[in-house]
Amino acid sequence: MPSSAPATGISFALNGPAATVAPGTGFQVPIVLNGGTDVSSIALKMHYDPAKLGLVNVSSGDLLTRDGQPAPFISHKDEADGSLIVSVSRPPGTKGISGSGVVCVLTFQAKAAGPSDLSINGASVVNSAQQQLPAQNAQTSIMVK
């Protein structure tokens, strides 16, 4: 699979804290989808360093519900290996959402000093016709000290 930029221009951003975070401090990381067109469902596979970060909560963003349609949100974490799967889908037969917005918000607690990468290493974005849309993964580094 080529690593060229997707034709659709869909990308994700992990909006981590701009400054360093002290151990024991809680912080949020909104996961933002940019450049979406007719987006009906999103599934993300993410990874973080569980020795440095503890995942406290995952809450739904407003991207797929901004027109009032329900969009069931599911998340599953494995704290032992630092993996997280998030899935959100609009009802079948409804028009997708276009534009940019928050998919979900991750709440972490800093555990130990040092850099910790947070990454989306698998993204599936599907339109209302159930067609897969190419999307760029994302990564950020969070500094705990």
Rounded distance between C-alpha atoms, residue 103 and residue 12, angstroms: 9
Tokens of 13: 């951003």
Residue 101 CA to residue 92 CA, distance in Å, equals 21
Mean of pLDDT values over 34-43:
97
Count of Cβ atoms closer than 10 Å to residue 129 Cβ? 8
Please check whether residue 115 is in contact with residue 17, taking contact to mean a CB–CB distance below 8 angstroms: no
CA distance 110 to 22: 7
What pLDDT is stored for residue 18 in this prediction? 86
**Band of pLDDT at residue 6, cut at 50, 70 and 90:** very low
Name the pTM for this structure. Answer: 0.91
pLDDT tens digit string along 47-105?
999 999 999 999 999 999 999 999 999 999 999 999 999 999 999 999 999 999 999 99
Return the domain boundaries, the chain: 23-129
CA 138 to chain centre: 9
> What is the CATH T-level fold of the domain 23-129, as seen in this structure?
Immunoglobulin-like (2.60.40)
Three-class secondary structure assignment of the chain: CCCCCCCCCEEEEECCCCCCECCCCEEEEEEEEEEEEEEEEEEEEEECCCCCEEEEEEEECCHHHCCCCCCCEEEEEECCCCEEEEEEECCCCCCCEEEEEEEEEEEEEECCCEEEEEEEEEEEEEECCCCEECEECEEEEEEEC
Mean pLDDT of the chain: 92
